Amino acid sequence: MLPDNKKLLNNTIRIVCSNIAEFCENPSKDFTRNRKLPVYALIQFMLNMEGNSLNAEIYNKLKPEAFKALLYEFNSTFTDAKTLKGLHVYAIDGSDFCTPLNKDSEWYILNHYIRKDGQEAKGTCLLHGNFL
Better-scored residue on pLDDT, 54 or 23: 23
* Interatomic CA distance for residues 39 and 67, integer angstroms: 12
pTM above 0.75, yes or no: no
pLDDT tens by residue, 36-61: 788 888 888 777 665 555 555 556 67
The four Cα atoms 53, 57, 58, 63 give a dihedral, to 10 degrees, of 110
Helices and strands per DSSP (H, E), number in the chain = 4, 3
Q: Is 43 exposed, middle or buried (0-12, 13-18, 19+ CB in 10 A)?
A: buried
List CB contacts of 12: < 8 A, sequence separation 6 or more.
70, 73, 74, 77
Better-scored residue on pLDDT, 88 or 1: 88
